[in-house]
């Protein structure tokens, strides 16, 4: 629709926004009842594609992913209407809006399709639409690079998934999921590994994450919110569906998932700490959170393989709850980062500072999102991690391997939590607090209502779904049931009700105590006006903005400690005279995996590919000959 | 009548906590051959500070004012799940120690942000070190609690400490001894005591907690000092219930014994502070990794038992 209205100024953006909001409301009104009642809905249309059928099923598991999808796309569209105004006249608004709505539709297909062909169609559409959005600022070299990496990752993932579907559907009469029969033994493991790699490339866990920290920051901020909040979860969703299908699970699948989750959640948090750009910090934090989800899945699979079903149900529920919660707070955070980009024109931490004074509401909302991302109670990030923790601790009292899995999961969560807290304290403290480090930060302004409104709504949802977590038990039980089997869904509700009620009570107690202490503080002041002076700082006469602790200095003790992993590059001045007048220091966080694993591998691949360059010489006739020969070959094979 | 008990336990913790820093100071004075401050000095300080008018920096925002309030409230809430003398607390539930751990995290987050809000290099330095040490202290504390959970087969703090008896010490002495050592190291680091930090050096580049709160004054500083006392109490209470799990049978007897043990932990902190020098800043992570190794070893012993 936005494309048709291209000629009129303002019309494409308006059409895009209205369409997205309407779709989001319609989608929510379909998904919420399913999630609340647990009754799946299915529709089917005639479709003439070979092996394909246009059948969609909306069950509670799909609904659990769809509710954040529609929340974020609806709110994101409103936010985007404000955000993209800054590009008016410079950019054609039709393309991003069309791609945004196409992305929404594609993700809807991915979450509901029950036919492999249809699913892959949705998958590829999703990749294409988001590719266009990553290239939104294609005049920047960084964005072009991000787009290219993203395209390569998406293509590789899709190829793996095609192989997986071919394996699963080899003997089946159609490509409908219902007609597949679960393979056994080696074929099952092969399918699992293909799914893990194929979906993993979308979910972005380490080591398949290289595209994520490039692509998410490059897209416009409301798209980053949707990509980080929902799109990477399509990988998690696919993995869960495949896991549920390929039963019974061998124990080593669980260990593999657990190991990958462990590496991702620790690595993601650690790399987040070393980044210098706000949106890159958030992108790495997404890797951390996908790691947490994977960790929970792995713990659940190990537990289930060892017969500890109650424990498995807790871990699975923790994974799903974290999927939901992460979408809310990461959406909020990316929108907050977008507000910073909008206001100060840069997301470089070292160029920001003091934004809390210039955009107080956005700063407070970003703080709420950060606290949720650090899993601090009473916000919603805590609820999902809490479940995984309980699962881990139950596991400790179980015998043998389950206890080890539990200890590993709990330890990884605790460490990643501390690292994430450091990363977010740094990002928030350096960007929003203190004094502005540059003119641009000093001249920042608060965003308009279109951008602030969606952030408010998400922040309220973050607080609400943290405090009222017990209310989510029912829907979550349906989703766990739909995903892993009704047995788990039923178990989990029983297991977690009591601790959840207590956590909720604790959250309310905390808020009550804070209110009391704040009132008491006011009473202590007794109406006296606090004195205002410069920062005391042990008596500095003229503190300046440049004397503040910056992003690199804040992270330095930790990044130095983990230098072998981070391979940070620091450039120090060489002092050659007795009274050096000028000095400079810069440090740069490397994309370690990209530089030291993928680039050499890609170079090797390119060398290999060059050997076949004689096949490709640009003569059209010969290409047509290739096609004809292939078609004839296929025909002969079919005969 | 029964309902009175958890309430009075809670009140006792809240009221007695500021006594601990006083005791530590008395012990240090004794070792230094000085008379030292009165043991109740912190109470006087809190009263004095609560009547003062605070001074705020021009740079600071509401985050600076909210920091101390949030920090102290997180600890007051954390005390809700803390068992007293092996008796259950108000809020005892499965996984309550996770809640406690993250409340401590909330307190830290609030303090760190308040420090960064002043835009000063000093306070930023302290904040940076605080989050660094937390990365090493939290896993050590967590794995220690995991080992303790496995000792009693319990998943709540009240259950874990309620299940400890003198009999447990006879059966699982190495585990409990390792855990006591690990928790004590975590106590020293988390409460910014020697050898991780020195609460007395207000003007040195090597300190952590004290430097973060340089710019706070008046009631805000009172909240910070009180919060620090509560945090010390929290860790001391955990260690006390671990090393002295004796059950006299009566609530009053148990409580008295527990209070004595808590004071004993404070004396131990004072002794450590008097006889040890501060570690170099870069060595503190190794100290905490030692604590982690103790905890992990305890867990391995316990799983293998």
pLDDT digits (tens, 9 = 90+) for B6-51: 888 899 999 999 999 999 999 999 999 998 889 999 999 999 999 9
Other Cβ atoms closer than 10 A to A126? 25
Supply angle C-alpha A486, A491, A493, rounded to 5.
100
Query: B91 and A506: CB-CB below 8 Å?
Result: yes
Length of chain A: 639
- Determine the distance in angstroms separating the CA of A513 from the nearest CA of chain B, rounded to an integer: 6
What's the pLDDT at A1? 46
What's the pLDDT at B227? 96
Query: B219 and A521: CB-CB below 8 Å?
Result: yes
C-alpha–C-alpha distance, residues A117 and A48, integer Å: 12
Residue ranges of B 160-199 with Cβ closer than 8 A to chain A = none
Which domain covers residue B258, as residue numbers? 4-304
Best A424, A513, A522 residue to mutate vs chain B (most B CBs within 10 Å): A513
Strands of A302-398, DSSP E: none
What's the pLDDT at B92? 86
Other Cβ atoms closer than 10 A to A268? 30
Contact residues on chain B for A548, CB-CB shorter than 8 A? 119-121, 124
Distances (CA, A) of B96 to A164, A364, B45, B149: 43, 28, 33, 12
Interface residue B58 vs chain A (CB under 8 A): yes
What's the pLDDT at B260? 93
Question: How many structural domains is chain B composed of?
Answer: 1
Query: B53 and A536: CB-CB below 8 Å?
Result: no
Tens digit of each residue's pLDDT (9 = 90 or more) over B205-264:
667 888 888 889 999 999 999 999 999 999 999 999 888 887 777 888 888 889 999 999
Q: Max alpha carbon distance in chain A (Å)? A: 94
- Determine the distance in angstroms separating the CA of A274 from the nearest CA of chain B, rounded to an integer: 13
Nearest CA in chain B to A516: B73
Interface residue B104 vs chain A (CB under 8 A): no
What's the pLDDT at B161? 87
- Please tell me the pTM assigned to this model: 0.94
Q: Which residue has the higher pLDDT, B69 or A603?
A: B69
| Interacting residues of A630 by C-beta distance below 8 A, sequence separation 6+ | none
- Determine the distance in angstroms separating the CA of A465 from the nearest CA of chain B, rounded to an integer: 16
* Chain centroid to CA B122: 24
Compute the radius of gyration of chain B from its Cα atoms: 19
Interface residue B220 vs chain A (CB under 8 A): yes
Best A404, A498, A536 residue to mutate vs chain B (most B CBs within 10 Å): A536
C-alpha–C-alpha distance, residues B64 and A16, integer Å: 41
Residue with token string 């972005």: A204
In this prediction the ipTM stands at: 0.95
C-alpha–C-alpha distance, residues A272 and A139, integer Å: 26
3-class secondary-structure state, position A56: strand
What's the pLDDT at A597? 82
Best A424, A495, A497, A506 residue to mutate vs chain B (most B CBs within 10 Å): A506
Listed as own residue / partner, the contacts of B108-111 with beta carbons closer than 8 Å and 24 or more positions apart are B108/A421, B108/B71, B108/B134, B109/A371, B109/A374, B109/A376, B109/A421, B109/A424, B109/A425, B110/B66, B110/B67, B110/B68, B110/B70, B110/B71, B110/B74, B111/B67, B111/B68, B111/B71, B111/B212, B111/B213, B111/B224
Name the residue among B59, B98, B129 with its Cβ closest to that of A435.
B59
Residue with token string 């977008």: A338
Name the residue among B95, B106, B215 with its Cβ closest to that of A389.
B95
C-alpha–C-alpha distance, residues A378 and B106, integer Å: 10
Residue A46 phi/psi, 5-degree rounding, is -65, 140
Instruction: Indicate the domain borders of chain A.
Output: 258-524, 593-638
Best B6, B94, B159, B295 residue to mutate vs chain A (most A CBs within 10 Å): B94
| Interacting residues of A568 by C-beta distance below 8 A, sequence separation 6+ | A274, A559, A587, A588, A589, A590
Listed as own residue / partner, the contacts of A510-514 with beta carbons closer than 8 Å and 24 or more positions apart are A510/A377, A510/A378, A510/B73, A510/B74, A510/B77, A510/B103, A511/A378, A511/A467, A513/B73, A513/B76, A513/B77, A514/B69, A514/B70, A514/B73
Query: B73 and A513: CB-CB below 8 Å?
Result: yes
Name the residue among B118, B131, B299 with its Cβ closest to that of A535.
B118
DSSP A38: -
Beta bridge partners of A56: A43, A113
Residue A91 phi/psi, 5-degree rounding, is -125, 145
Interface residue B46 vs chain A (CB under 8 A): no
Residue ranges of A 520-559 with Cβ closer than 8 A to chain B = 521, 524-525, 528-538, 540, 543, 545, 547-549, 553-558
C-alpha–C-alpha distance, residues B160 and B150, integer Å: 9
What's the pLDDT at B202? 60
Name the residue among A417, A506, A555 with its Cβ closest to that of B105.
A417
**DSSP H or E stretch at residue A467:** helix A449-467
Could you write out the three-class secondary structure of chain B? Answer: CCCHHHHHHHHHHHHHCCHHHHHHHHHHHHHHCCCCCCCCHHHHHHHHHHCCCCEEECCCCHHHHHHHHHHHHHHHHHHHCCCECCECCCCCCCCHHHHHHHHHHHHHHHHHHHHHCCCCHHHHHHHHHHHHHHHHHHHHHHHHHHHHHHHHCCCCHHHHHHCCCHHHHHHCHHHHHHHHHHHHHHHHHHCCCCCCCCCCCCCCCCCCHHHHCCCCCHHHHHHHHHHHHHHHHHHHHHHHHHHCCCCCCCHHHHHHHHHHHHHHHHHHHHHHHHHCCCCCHHHHHHHHHHHHHHHHHHHHHHHHC
C-alpha–C-alpha distance, residues A9 and A93, integer Å: 9
Name the residue among A422, A517, A535 with its Cβ closest to that of B69.
A517
C-alpha–C-alpha distance, residues B128 and A553, integer Å: 8
Q: What is the mean pLDDT of each run of 10 residues along chain A (639 residues)?
A: 52 83 89 88 82 86 94 94 85 86 93 92 94 90 90 92 90 83 87 94 89 90 94 95 90 94 94 92 95 95 88 90 95 95 90 91 95 93 90 81 88 94 95 91 88 95 92 87 80 76 92 94 88 80 80 88 81 77 73 81 86 80 90 87
Query: B218 and A390: CB-CB below 8 Å?
Result: no
Other Cβ atoms closer than 10 A to B113? 26
C-alpha–C-alpha distance, residues A268 and A301, integer Å: 23
- Determine the distance in angstroms separating the CA of A554 from the nearest CA of chain B, rounded to an integer: 5
C-alpha–C-alpha distance, residues A333 and A380, integer Å: 14
Interface residue A433 vs chain B (CB under 8 A): yes
Supply angle C-alpha B42, B48, B49, rounded to 5.
90
| Interacting residues of A186 by C-beta distance below 8 A, sequence separation 6+ | none
- Determine the distance in angstroms separating the CA of A315 from the nearest CA of chain B, rounded to an integer: 14
């Amino acid at each position: 629709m936005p494309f048709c209205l291209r000629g009129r100024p303002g019309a494409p953006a308006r059409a895009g926004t209205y369409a997205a909001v309407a779709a989001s409301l319609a989608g929510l009104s379909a998904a919420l009842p399913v999630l609340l009642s647990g009754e799946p809905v299915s529709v089917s249309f005639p479709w003439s594609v070979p092996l394909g059928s246009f059948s969609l099923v909306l069950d509670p598991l799909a609904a659990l992913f769809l509710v954040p999808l529609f929340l974020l796309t609806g709110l994101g569209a409103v936010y985007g209407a404000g955000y993209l105004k800054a590009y008016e006249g410079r950019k054609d608004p039709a393309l991003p809006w069309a791609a945004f709505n196409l992305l929404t539709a594609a993700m809807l297909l991915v979450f509901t399709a029950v036919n492999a062909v249809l699913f892959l169609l949705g998958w590829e559409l999703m990749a294409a639409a988001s590719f266009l959005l990553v290239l939104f600022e294609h005049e920047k070299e960084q964005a072009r690079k991000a787009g290219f990496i993203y395209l390569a990752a998406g293509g590789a993932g899709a190829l793996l998934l095609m192989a997986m579907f071919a394996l699963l559907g080899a003997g089946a009469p159609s490509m409908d999921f219902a007609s597949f029969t679960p393979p056994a033994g080696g074929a099952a493991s092969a399918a699992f590994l293909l799914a893990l790699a194929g979906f993993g490339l979308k979910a972005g866990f380490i080591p398949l994450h290289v595209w994520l920290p490039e692509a998410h920051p490059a897209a416009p901020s409301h798209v980053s919110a949707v990509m980080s909040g929902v799109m990477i979860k399509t990988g998690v969703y696919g993995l869960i569906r495949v896991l549920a299908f390929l039963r019974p699970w061998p124990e080593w699948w669980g260990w593999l998932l657990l190991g990958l989750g462990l590496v991702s959640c620790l690595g993601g948090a650690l790399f987040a700490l070393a980044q210098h750009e706000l949106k890159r910090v958030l992108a790495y934090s997404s890797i951390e959170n996908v790691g947490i989800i994977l960790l929970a899945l792995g713990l659940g699979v190990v537990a289930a393989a060892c017969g500890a079903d109650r424990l498995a149900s807790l871990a699975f529920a923790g994974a799903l709850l974290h999927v939901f919660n992460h979408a809310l707070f990461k959406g909020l955070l990316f929108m907050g980062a977008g507000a910073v980009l909008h206001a100060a024109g840069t997301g470089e931490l070292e160029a920001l500072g003091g934004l809390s004074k210039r955009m107080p509401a956005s700063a407070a909302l970003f703080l709420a999102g950060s606290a949720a991302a650090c899993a601090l109670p009473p916000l919603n990030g805590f609820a999902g991690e809490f479940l995984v923790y309980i699962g881990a601790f139950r596991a400790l009292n179980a015998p043998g391997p389950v206890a080890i899995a539990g200890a590993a999961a709990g330890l990884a969560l605790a460490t990643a939590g501390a690292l994430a807290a450091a990363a977010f304290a740094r990002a928030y403290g350096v960007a929003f607090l203190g004094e502005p480090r540059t003119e641009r930060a000093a001249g920042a302004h608060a965003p308009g209502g279109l951008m602030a409104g969606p952030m408010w709504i998400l922040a309220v949802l973050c607080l609400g779904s943290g405090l009222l977590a017990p209310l989510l038990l029912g829907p979550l039980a349906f989703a766990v049931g739909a995903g892993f089997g009704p047995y788990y869904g039923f178990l989990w509700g029983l297991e977690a009700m009591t601790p959840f009620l207590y956590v909720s009570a604790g959250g309310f107690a905390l808020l009550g105590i804070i209110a009391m202490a704040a009132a008491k503080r006011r009473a202590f002041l007794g109406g006296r006006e606090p004195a205002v002076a410069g920062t005391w700082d042990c008596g500095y006469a003229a503190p300046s903005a440049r004397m503040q602790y910056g992003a690199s200095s804040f992270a330095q003790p930790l990044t130095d400690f983990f230098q072998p992993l981070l391979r940070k590059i620091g450039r120090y001045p060489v002092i050659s005279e007795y009274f050096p007048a000028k000095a400079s220091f810069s440090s740069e966080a490397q994309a370690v995996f990209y530089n030291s694993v993928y680039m050499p591998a890609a170079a090797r691949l390119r060398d290999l590919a060059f050997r076949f360059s004689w096949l490709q010489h640009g003569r059209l006739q010969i290409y047509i000959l290739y096609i004809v020969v292939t078609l004839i070959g296929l025909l002969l094979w079919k005969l | 009548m029964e309902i009175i008990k958890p309430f009075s336990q809670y009140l006792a913790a809240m009221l007695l906590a500021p006594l601990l820093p006083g005791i530590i100071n008395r012990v240090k004075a004794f070792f230094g051959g000085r008379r030292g401050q009165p043991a109740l000095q912190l109470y006087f300080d809190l009263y004095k500070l609560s009547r003062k008018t605070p001074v705020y920096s021009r740079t600071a925002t509401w985050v600076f004012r909210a920091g101390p309030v949030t920090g102290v409230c997180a600890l007051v809430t954390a005390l809700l799940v803390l068992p007293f003398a092996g008796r259950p607390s108000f809020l005892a539930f499965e996984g309550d120690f996770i809640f406690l751990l993250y409340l401590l995290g909330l307190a830290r987050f609030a303090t760190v942000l308040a420090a960064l809000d002043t835009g000063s290099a000093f306070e930023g330095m302290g904040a940076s070190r605080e989050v660094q040490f937390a990365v090493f202290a939290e896993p050590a504390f967590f794995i220690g609690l995991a080992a303790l959970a496995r000792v009693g087969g319990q998943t709540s703090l009240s259950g874990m400490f309620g299940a400890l008896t003198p009999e447990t010490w006879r059966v699982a002495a190495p585990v409990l001894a390792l855990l006591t050592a690990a928790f004590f190291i975590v106590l020293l680091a988390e409460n910014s005591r020697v050898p991780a930090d020195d609460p007395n050096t207000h003007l040195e580049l090597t300190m952590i907690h004290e430097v973060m709160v340089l710019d706070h004054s008046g009631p805000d500083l009172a909240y910070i000092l009180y919060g620090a006392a509560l945090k010390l109490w929290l860790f001391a209470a955990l260690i006390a219930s671990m090393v002295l799990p004796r059950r006299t049978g009566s609530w009053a007897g148990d409580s008295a014994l527990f209070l004595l043990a808590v004071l004993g932990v404070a004396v131990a902190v004072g002794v450590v502070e008097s006889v040890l020098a501060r570690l170099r800043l870069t060595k503190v992570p190794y100290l905490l990794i030692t604590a982690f190794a103790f905890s992990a070893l305890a867990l391995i012993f316990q799983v293998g038992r």
